[in-house]
Amino acid sequence: MFDKLEAVVLRHAELTRLLSDPAVIAQRAQFQKYAKECADLSDLVATYQRYTKIAAELDENKLLLDEKDPEMRAMAREEAARLTVEKDALAEKLKLLLLPKDPNDDRNILLEIRGGAGGEEAALFAGDLFRMYGRYAERRRWKVEVLSMSEAAAGGLKEVVAQIAGDKVYSALKYESGVHRVQRVPTTEAQGRIHTSTATVAVLPEADELDLRIDEKDLEIKVSRSGGPGGQSVNTTDSAVQILHVPSGIQIRCTTEKSQHKNKAQAMRILRAKLLEIEEEKRASAERDARRGMVGSGDRSEKIRTYNFPQDRFTDHRIGLTKHNLPGILDGELDPIIEALRTSFQAEALKGAS
């Protein structure tokens, strides 16, 4: 571990020097690349420097343990105990910081929510989940932009795709993918019986045009007039866009904008994210298999959560987490849940690395 850390310190020093080099400053793309790498290493370097300082202080403190003065020896023992606790905590933090970083952590995401089993109640629950993530995004000062939405006739959402942009969005929400289950009494239930419904959530790191190129020859694009719930017209122009990516079979339809060009651009954003997900699957299957063993696969076919309204109980089945604050959670109070998932993943990753 310490050989790695010394190499990181040297690299950080080299990057610091490069960032003050006029030749590098003149090349904006190169400068930004070095600046990001330097920033990513800063916490690790600062933690290691603190660790080495504490280790040196511990060595110096050992000399005081041989003092003839009993009071000095007692003070030295207290200081040694304090320094040892801090040193051990720093060592654990260093192990975490040395874990391989998810290359998608800094990306924006496309959030895709669909009503599952349960008919009208599933659509209402999908709407509740979308509001939950929207409120969480507000708390984090992220921007939410709806790219595609299909509303259910009785309320709620059949499906919605939205971009969430901000600082480390994928890092925070990447564990949300999967089947979310709700247990509650629907407003239409006259006998007070509890119904179980589901909605699926997918969190896709957003891809840009540099990540992958899509050949126009592989696309079949159709335009039509948009329609809303009940068949009413949203607009009277051929603005709705449907794109079929022939090689993968992925089909995207966007109707939220009144402009055909804007709907096409949004459909392409969704398509790029889905194709990037496929590429990530191919490149990192071994890593993702390891992650499945740690905190569940996050696969959309796997039930990851239950929201039980009669008992005011929230359960994340992957890590056995239970909380009793459903109104707060559905209002976007997700930080404790996300932090618990991250901690569990990191702990399992450390086991795998040891």
Q: State whether 305 and 273 are in the same domain.
A: no
Residue where a domain terminates, one of 60, 78, 98: 98
Report whether pLDDT(351) > 50: yes
**Domain with 49 in it:** 2-98
Q: With respect to residue 17, please indicate whether it lies within any of the assigned structural domains.
A: yes
Helix (H) or strand (E) holding 109: strand 109-115
Burial (Cβ within 10 Å: 0-12, 13-18, ≥19) of residue 81: exposed
Report whether pLDDT(299) > 60: no
Residue where a domain terminates, one of 78, 98, 118: 98
320: left (phi over 0), alpha (psi -120 to 50) or beta: left
Q: With respect to residue 336, please indicate whether it lies within any of the assigned structural domains.
A: yes
Contacts of 297 (CB under 8 A, 6+ apart): 178, 288, 291
The per-residue pLDDT for range 108-163, each reduced to its tens digit, is 999 999 998 888 899 999 999 999 999 999 999 999 999 888 898 878 899 999 99
Q: With respect to residue 103, please indicate whether it lies within any of the assigned structural domains.
A: no
Measured distance CA(38)–CA(35) in Å, rounded = 5
Q: State whether 116 and 91 are in the same domain.
A: no
Residue where a domain terminates, one of 255, 281, 307: 281
Q: With respect to residue 104, please indicate whether it lies within any of the assigned structural domains.
A: no
The per-residue pLDDT for range 74-114, each reduced to its tens digit, is 888 899 999 999 999 998 888 878 877 777 888 899 999 99
Domain at 156, CATH number: 3.30.70.1660
Domain count, the chain: 3
pTM for the structure as a whole? 0.67
Decide if 197 contacts 122 (C-beta within 8 A). yes
